[in-house]
Amino acid sequence: MKMCTPTRWLGARAVGSGRTSDCSCFCVTNFRNQPIITTTISATPQGTRRPFSVFCSYSSPFLAASSSSMPYDKELAAAKKAATLAARLCQKVQKALLQSDVHSKSDKSPVTVADYGSQALVSFVLERELPSEPFSLVAEEDSGDLRKESGQETLKRITELVNDTLASEESDRFTALTTEDVLRAIDNGKSEGGSIGRHWVLDPIDGTKGQVFSLLFSSLLPKSDIVFVRGDQYAIALGLLHEGKVVLGVLACPNLPLTSIGNNQQSSSNEVGCLFFAKVGDGAYMQSLNGSTHIKVHVTDTGNPEEASFFESFEAAHSSHDLSSSIAEKLGVKAPPVRIDSQAKYGALSRGDGAIYLRFPHKGYREKIWDHAAGSIVVTEAGGIVTDAAGNPLDFSKGKFLDVASGIIVTNQKLMPSLLRAVKEALNEKASSL
């Protein structure tokens, strides 16, 4: 085989001196002195110098590493922006809570202006920031009640909040949205998800239900009040599915302290408002909602159950506290549970505030993908494991629902084997007692 004269590479074209009518070239680049290009050069008249076509095959570890670090960067940036703006909207509503900000849906579950506003805002920002991508959003709310006569005042309030939030953050390029714009943005969330393509998954305010709290107008509310109104933990939870797998997640937790909420740990700061984020293969991070420098977070590395604390939902209606207590006893956990609502649990666990999260919904309840998508990747990228009660990975590819065995458990690598044994034993005992 004849060798060609050295070639100056210009993308897929080259300028060189061909001394044969056809030749194959094995070229060495200056990237770490590694051979990366095999070329076939079409016929070139002998003795001429002119541009000629080169067909290249790349096998560079360097280039592969560069390209693999790029996926989902722009999506993550858009998700962080959307979730942060939604959190700002929610904080505005909390600071100036109005009686009309609580709107009861037709199914009687309480929904706030902030729920709808958060979904509209996230939908609008994602679609605007990623205009070249097909947009699919699986989300909790729809605009059905807002389109009724009884919902017009609520819709007007939502539109004002969304516009105020956008204007305060983006005054240089802001155009006010109409009520129709807001309704359309909310209804973007009607996607069914699935295993094909990309789908955003949103819980606009995860944690809207919770224990009863006394407000001046509490008599106007259903007995199952809302965490958002109480000022307890809630999260704007946004994830991205690609071919049925969660590839990035963002948790905006406006009421979560920047320092640990674990047992026997006192906060040294009064600052609240955390943003957790992760993308596949890149670790998990936390920063202030105000935009401070982010830090990498990691789950606790304890392997001793006696040193482990666990999270569970505040309200017993969300998860079986009795079953969780039985599991903790069998495992040897000594610390009392840390009860906290919403996917803020995932964020807190990702930074080591606790070691275990147990969720065992009551019979008949089907888990929704928006309740776990964002939180699960934050924890797994922080070094944790998220499975169902049988140890199976969560499957987000089947649509809006997660079909899991009995419940969901989250912990670190060291504790998972013993936790699974304790879960199995407790579930068997429960089944035998029925």
pLDDT one-digit tens code per residue, 204-244: 998 754 332 323 233 333 333 345 555 588 999 999 999 99
> What average pLDDT does range 179-197 have in this prediction?
97
**What is the per-residue pLDDT for 341?**
82
- For the chain, the structural domain boundaries read 73-97+106-217+224-262+270-433
Residues 6+ apart with CB under 8 A from 416: 385, 387, 391, 409
Q: Which of 169-173, 203-207, 365-369, 408-412 comes out lowest in average pLDDT?
A: 169-173
CA–CA separation, 274 and 349 (whole Å): 13
**What is the per-residue pLDDT for 95?**
78
Residue in 175, 87, 182 with CA at minimum distance from that of residue 143: 182
- The DSSP bridge partners found for residue 370 are none
pLDDT in tens, 282-303: 999 999 999 889 999 999 999 9
Judge whether residue 251 has pLDDT over 80: yes
pLDDT in tens, 136-177: 999 989 999 999 999 999 999 999 999 999 998 866 677 899
**What is the per-residue pLDDT for 69?**
45
The annotated binding site is made up of: 140, 203, 205-206, 371
Confidence bin at 320 (pLDDT 50/70/90): low
CA–CA separation, 86 and 415 (whole Å): 35
**What is the per-residue pLDDT for 337?**
83
**What is the per-residue pLDDT for 70?**
63
CA–CA separation, 390 and 388 (whole Å): 5
CATH number of 73-97+106-217+224-262+270-433: 3.30.540.10
Three-class DSSP category at 82: helix
Judge whether residue 181 has pLDDT over 90: yes
Confidence bin at 102 (pLDDT 50/70/90): low
**What is the per-residue pLDDT for 98?**
47
Confidence bin at 405 (pLDDT 50/70/90): confident
> What average pLDDT does range 257-269 have in this prediction?
70
Beta strands, E only, 21-72: 23-28, 35-41, 49-58
**What is the per-residue pLDDT for 316?**
54
**What is the per-residue pLDDT for 7?**
34
**What is the per-residue pLDDT for 322?**
85
Distances (CA, A) of 327 to 28, 114, 146, 357, 423: 60, 36, 43, 11, 6
Q: Which of 89-93, 329-333, 395-399 comes out lowest in average pLDDT?
A: 89-93
User: Which range is most confident: 20-34, 149-163, 334-348?
Assistant: 149-163
The annotated binding site for Mg(2+) is made up of: 140, 203, 205-206, 371
The single-letter code of the amino acid at 403 is D
pLDDT in tens, 44-81: 444 443 433 333 333 333 233 333 446 899 999 999 99
Mean of the per-residue pLDDT values for the chain? 79
Judge whether residue 416 has pLDDT over 70: yes
**What is the per-residue pLDDT for 284?**
98
pLDDT in tens, 81-98: 999 999 999 988 877 664
Tokens of 277: 């984020």
Residue in 46, 39, 34, 31 with CA at minimum distance from that of residue 6: 39
Cα within 13 Å of Cα(431), Cβ side: 7
Cα-based angle 380, 386, 390 (whole degrees, multiple of 5): 155
What percent of the chain has a predicted confidence (pLDDT) above 70? Answer: 71
What residues are annotated to the active site?
A: 115, 208
**What is the per-residue pLDDT for 59?**
33
pLDDT in tens, 106-139: 654 446 788 999 999 999 999 999 999 899 999 9
Confidence bin at 262 (pLDDT 50/70/90): confident
Judge whether residue 203 has pLDDT over 70: yes
> What average pLDDT does range 336-350 have in this prediction?
90
CA–CA separation, 309 and 92 (whole Å): 33
Residues 6+ apart with CB under 8 A from 237: 202, 203, 206, 249, 250, 251, 342, 343, 370, 371, 373, 374, 375
CA–CA separation, 415 and 396 (whole Å): 24
**What is the per-residue pLDDT for 392?**
96
What percent of the chain has a predicted confidence (pLDDT) above 90? Answer: 55
Judge whether residue 356 has pLDDT over 80: yes
